[in-house]
Homo-oligomer: A and B are copies of this chain.
């Protein structure tokens, strides 16, 4: 689902500035969808061109001028029909799983470090979701997404605790890998062939 649609959805919850929407993304969508300013502002622009939102400028005394966006009836109807037409699906992008998939190629200490990182991340996200669920102004749908997120994270942490030892045990006797073979240039720029 595109950021444009998500912005429209955010505005269906109440008028907001681009900045507000970014915060909503961080506070509520964070565990299942990301978005940056570089996509939010252009999205709002397009939505306005299409007549799905309008805005008024609020002159600021204590803050900079802000463009407060508002969904039009057409925009609301459009969002609803898009929602209804969106199939329920999901996609994971997990570097963690890739790392574990290739665990046999990693030295034990690095593997341990990655496992520790995973636990930290999962714990932090769980804490975050727990702090979210203490806020009380949620619809039942939002509570559902938070609850689902928490259950999934608990399952991940449990799995990690229960299987980490087994993984490390069957990992021990690796041959040393050629660590220092120079290859740092791959990550960004690289070649400029046609």
Q: Which A residues form the contact surface with B (CB < 8 A)? A: 1, 6, 9, 12, 28-29, 31-34, 46, 49-50, 52, 73-74, 76-84, 86-107, 110, 114-115, 117-118, 121, 139-142, 144-145, 147-149, 151-152, 154-156, 158-160, 163, 166-167, 170-171, 177-179, 181-184, 186-187, 190-191, 193
Residues of B within 8 A of A101 (CB): 9, 28-29, 141-142, 145
Residues of B within 8 A of A117 (CB): 87-88
Q: How many copies does the complex hold?
A: 2
Contact B84–A106 (Cβ < 8 Å): yes
Contact A95–B1 (Cβ < 8 Å): yes
- Bound Cα distance A139, B52 (Å): 52
Contact A103–B167 (Cβ < 8 Å): no
CB distance from A176 to the nearest CB of B (A): 11
Contact A50–B103 (Cβ < 8 Å): no
Identify 5 residue pairs between A and B in the complex whose beta-carbon atoms are under 8 Å apart, listed by A's number.
A78-B186, A81-B179, A86-B98, A89-B95, A90-B93
